[in-house]
Homo-oligomer: A and B are copies of this chain.
């Protein structure tokens, strides 16, 4: 059964009934998630937020937007542009809903400057399983008045409550953009350069890593025409893409030049300043990396995170795993955040599962986590539950029980079962 409420009141009545009859509820926004968090089971009610589309307010004095959960990133971007503002979180998929972004604490390319969803959500309206409505946070950054329920709900993948509205922090929309592309012969050099780029003081808004396969995919998908000499392309194992933004074109240009020198000093083969149109094509192509991979037969994409400075060691070790299991693995990712996307090409389900297990295990051992931005959902649950500390897992189950005593909210997503508190 699919229900499509258009108001918080309707959501409240649905959840009251669901709790009374113990019917599991899976909330679904635009359905663009990559971990299966919005896929219901057969017994579940699917609560779609697709009709909750109101942009309630763009408050240009407080630089805040208030939106319903079903509003998409694209719709919000259009609405904020009219005010010279922007919601700075940009996961690859602009058709994603804000509610879905909140459920998975979506990250994306601009996290190196603006953090992730949790850093931009100031408040929430949510409906609890019994139908009670709560308001959390508000139009302010600073607060120390009881537990931060907003932050607890963000990233909970629909397992605690249904988010109906969000108060979002906006930032001024910059007018100038400069994009640098640097090919490297050696992937390690890139990961060594990244901390220096991030902390150079120029505050880049995007620091992306693409291996040669990922770069090829991004170029093809975006239809870009990079004038990199063929000989250099042959040499280049990986690329670093850096975007600078600002309102003063001279400053952005100056920063770009000093960053270019920094990269050459870090063994970049060259540094290309891309035209605005080529830059957009490459970034679009990069955003579609998941789909390029899928078209090419990729089994799945992993979004592990490790400490930024450990990226090169992680990439090297994963290459060892790939060789040992005769599996092809591509690397693209948000290098500035230590968040790397591995494209796993392996059709044998047993080998695939082993490879995934080893990749996650390695990330965890290196001080990282299973998912940086896609969430655990159903797809990564078996790996996550195995690696997660049982004490933390028990605590999370008790927190879930505090919100959802009948275990009706997206059961089986993130973790299995539930102990009573």
Contact = CB atoms under 8 A, between A and B. Distances in A.
Interface of A: 59, 61-64, 104-107, 111, 115-116, 118-119, 128, 132-136, 138-149, 151-152, 154-156, 172, 174, 195, 198-199, 201, 246-247, 251, 305-309, 334, 337-339, 367-376, 384, 388-389, 391-393, 395-396, 398-399, 401-403, 405, 414-415, 420-421
A105 B199 CA distance: 25
B369 A140 contact: yes
A332 B5 CA distance: 46
5 closest A-B pairs by beta carbon, nearest first, are A421-B421, A61-B309, A398-B402, A151-B151, A139-B307
B105 A143 contact: yes
Contact of A147 (B156, B247, B384): B156
Contacts of A369: 138, 140, 143, 145
A140 B339 contact: yes
Contact of A308 (B62, B136, B145, B201): B62
A391 B129 CA distance: 12
19 contacts: A64-B307, A105-B148, A116-B141, A128-B391, A128-B395, A134-B392, A139-B338, A142-B338, A143-B369, A144-B372, A146-B155, A146-B376, A146-B392, A148-B151, A148-B155, A149-B396, A201-B247, A402-B402, A402-B421
Nearest to A246: B201
A59 B308 CA distance: 11
Q: How many copies does the complex hold?
A: 2
A103 to B, nearest CB: 9
A379 to B, nearest CB: 13
Given A201-B247, A395-B149, A375 B144 contact: yes
B392 A421 contact: no
A106 B144 CA distance: 8
A392 B136 contact: yes
A119 to B, nearest CB: 6
Given A144-B373, A369-B140, A372-B140, A395 B389 contact: no
Contacts of A174: 201
A64 B152 CA distance: 23
Given A105-B143, A128-B391, A143-B371, 6 more contacts: A61-B309, A64-B307, A128-B395, A138-B367, A142-B334, A143-B155
B105 A144 contact: yes
Contacts of A403: 395, 398
Contacts of A149: 392, 395-396
Contact of A146 (B246, B388, B401): B388
